[in-house]
Structure 1
């Protein structure tokens, strides 16, 4: 009886596998879904697609199946776009067809489809337009927000000064500093770094960011108006999530890279001394006169590829793309990492080298492949604010301090600790020596 039972289970598994394979073959190929590895029942391609390092896994699959291919995360098919040409074609050239936000369970649980990041259609258009207009009215891209960043940088310098050259982990103070810039925009005030409500907000954001990067993050009727209180609160929280964790993590990763490459740090300080000096604060207008610092800031964002897959998109109708047809509702993953690490645009892309953004005469070199904020209609609405903050915070810190590693620079690990939907630098300490 036991033998018979075991044989039945094996037979059922074989039948399930055959049915799954037949269904997959029927859906993929020219004029159908893009090709990809054969999925298993229930598991899909989870054996081939490693959640701990999605970007590297997807690169290997693209070498086998081409720039447009299908993987199954569980039973759901996901179309992957790998490489500059297909990412640009989808997100920029055919922006309307690929503008919808793909399904993310963490977004459903946390935001219930509200806000900016996880919403869609008219709701998303209204809230995004409102958010951008409001940010501009508050001064994004104008001098007032620059002054807010400069003001907050004074408090950051004060916190760094308290370390008196001793080793410290910069994570907390950088997060507080960047978050306070959003506080000053949304609430009209900043908070002390020890304020209990402020710390609770920071803790919530950190938890959500970690959930989005975990395996568990990859698993009610709305009122007619987009401008009800719950949606406005959710949108404000989206600004905190998008404007705090991403920017502070970028700066933190950047400081780690400057510890790893002290000669690059020295060259930035030489440029700061030449253009800004020590008697005034760096400002955004200085950026055009500081091509090397600007190149380093761009290279930090390119090298770390903070959000390697971008957030998922979807198509709202059956869509012909290249030689294939993508069914309505299919999740789309544009792999930003494949653009930022393209060897045609950036020779030796896995090396940290500011010359990727410098012409031979030392002037700054723009690149169409620079897409850390995504592209098209879903490009990060806070791109201008983030770029301003990253430049000003790094320039201000290096104007006042020389950063030194507590271990030999060659021993510093710069490999991210999470390589799923977000790349986070490993924990480290540094010493900030006043200049």
Structure 2
């Protein structure tokens, strides 16, 4: 090969590498911005005009077939490296997509990182196939079976059976947590289906019918509200019985599990109080008087509503499989520990935290220091920052706390992953290959 040929070859190779890097970076940028790859087709004239060699950028099908696999493989290796040998929490759920395929998504949570790590298409969904998916995924990520702490799912029979008969014997530290958001939705749904509240349900249906399909009508309604003194009107809260997740969004990423037990105790007291109450507060009483309703009839309806909610509540909450974990995770809330109750400082009562069952001498020493830090708590405590700041003073306890305080209590994230998956399956893209669907789902959910 002469010098001219060598230069031509080197130049061609350099151009090819530059083009490859540009397209792969573009795929990552689209995924991070949640822009469908198909949109690149509309941008091709812009690229050709304003980017050097922009005319070489191909259309979306070539993106998916030629360049997407390499982008996905790089990101997948980063996921494997991050979760390698970590005590993850596992969230799994199944849905049926618009093409009638059964799709199982698996999410790993470790501290404040939540990532979709597997998308599987199954012919049958049962306890055995769920086990196969999970075992394969854990093996791929080099996570020993004794490390996972939490298995979070819905309350489907096959999920419970999978945990009881297969996962629990294999994973001694694993606790099953049926999704709390699902359960709270079941409790709330007792009111939606209560015959005495039928008129309210019909009213909400009509409101939805009036406003959802008419942006102009919504605009006039907002103008009306502003004219009557409501300067920042909120959206009308329309219920959707098939999408409970829209009612249970965590807008601020903060640890939740240390506060779950207290919230459940307060909910218990609230429901039990009003089951047999003759006093539902002055607001309701004033309305009854104002509209000359029959107080006895109205109160009997409300007592009935609380009674049916209580029946559903007692079927799920008191014996929730993760209730002991909820109680134990309170130990990582310094305000709970430093409350004026010496009994709260007994480390062994929090034994759902496995490391507290038989604590080492060094852990006991750190626990003693932690329990004595009464005077430094002023105002609200952000648990993640609190424990990060304790990494030097309490290294063992801080590390444990950061592992446990981020454990999830709901499967909202997996519901969101299905929403993102379904957005890939609009009418123009239902011919995507299963490999492309898996890669795109994971890249877009994880934000690259």
Instruction: Flag whether TM exceeds 0.5 (same fold).
Output: no
User: Which structure would you say has the larger RCO, counting Cα contacts within 8 Å and 6 or more residues apart?
Assistant: 1
Category of TM-score, reference length = shorter chain: under 0.3
Under a length normalisation based on structure 1, what TM-score does the superposition of the two structures give? 0.23
Which protein has the larger Cα radius of gyration, Structure 1 or Structure 2?
2
Greater helix share, structure number: 2
